[in-house]
Amino acid sequence: MTNHEILLQASNLRKNYHRGGGAFAQSSERDQFKAVDDVSFQITAGETFAIVGESGCGKTTLARMLLRLVEPDGGKIIFQGRELTALSSAEMRAERRQLQMVFQDPYASLNPRMRVSEIVAEPLAIHEPKLSSIERRERTSAMLRRVGLNEESAARYPHEFSGGQRQRIGIARALILRPKLVVADEPVSALDVSVGAQMLVLLQELQQEFGLTYLLISHSLPVVAQVATRIAVMRAGKFVELGEAEQVLSHPQHVYTKELLAAVPELPAASA
């Protein structure tokens, strides 16, 4: 699958937020903290690039910057040769059909008032308005079947489903436009371990089938170890280590990576 084509290149990405500070806080340099601090990396077509790090280290901010759902304070993003950071918001919206996100909380990310068929078909309605309603329905039910949901799911509402099924709905919605890159931000952290493991298997099958490239974000090293081809270890807004998954898991270089590994005895590398 991997053909060594660079799909996305992020250079020197930065995002600062105000520290604490209510409505009357004065804005000055020292009131800012660096949520993402000079992060650079490339994602190659076909790979699963994983970012692992503890809660609050800046993973979600970084992920959302790649889609410009959060505006970077500095740095550059080039996706398929286009500089995303230079696009107008209309151009960026058009580009998002190639760049989709799967969210952590499968319930909060689905509109409770929409039927599953509408949720999954909505991106088609936006990006392919000329599609006939029959075609739209066919593509929607094919995608629902593919993620393991039956025919009757289409007419139901998100609250009628389990967490794992809701995440399948979110995945169907993210994939309906056949994106190139899928950014999955903690896709299994709201799920039981066994349900989460199944979800990761499904994501891997879909990757093969649709030729997808993944950016997978997780605070969990076992999750990352299950699917990553390369791993970046993030701490306090920075990447402290980046390498081939096997290398990072079996020969960690940074002391922080060693600490993360030591905390998960079930991973074979932990004893190293």
Q: What is the DSSP string of 64-131?
A: HHHTTSS--SEEEEEETTEEGGGS-HHHHHHHGGGEEEE-S-TTTTS-TTS-HHHHHHHHHHHH-TTS
The residue range among 40-48, 57-65, 175-183, 189-197 that interacts with ligand ADP, by the rule CB under 6 A, is 57-65
Containing 170, the helix (H) or strand (E) segment is helix 163-175
Question: Which CB, 60 or 85, lies closer to Mg ion?
Answer: 60
For residue 151, the Cα-to-chain-centroid distance in whole angstroms is 27
Q: Rule CB under 6 A: is residue 58 a binding residue for ligand ADP?
A: yes
Q: Which of 7, 47, 50, 61 binds ligand ADP (CB under 6 A)?
A: 61
Q: Rule CB under 6 A: is residue 257 a binding residue for ligand ADP?
A: no
| CA dist., res. 136 & res. 155, Å (int) | 15
DSSP 8-state class, residue 186: S
Shortest spacing between CB 39 and Mg ion, in angstroms: 15
Q: Rule CB under 6 A: is residue 57 a binding residue for ligand ADP?
A: yes
Name which of residues 31 to 60 contact Mg ion (CB under 5 A): 59-60
Question: Which CB, 59 or 173, lies closer to Mg ion?
Answer: 59
Question: Which CB, 53 or 158, lies closer to ligand ADP?
Answer: 53
Residue 10 burial (CB count, 10 A): 23
The residue range among 48-56, 140-148, 149-157, 196-204 that interacts with ligand ADP, by the rule CB under 6 A, is 48-56
Which residues form the interface with ligand ADP (CB under 6 A)? Answer: 17, 35, 53, 55-61
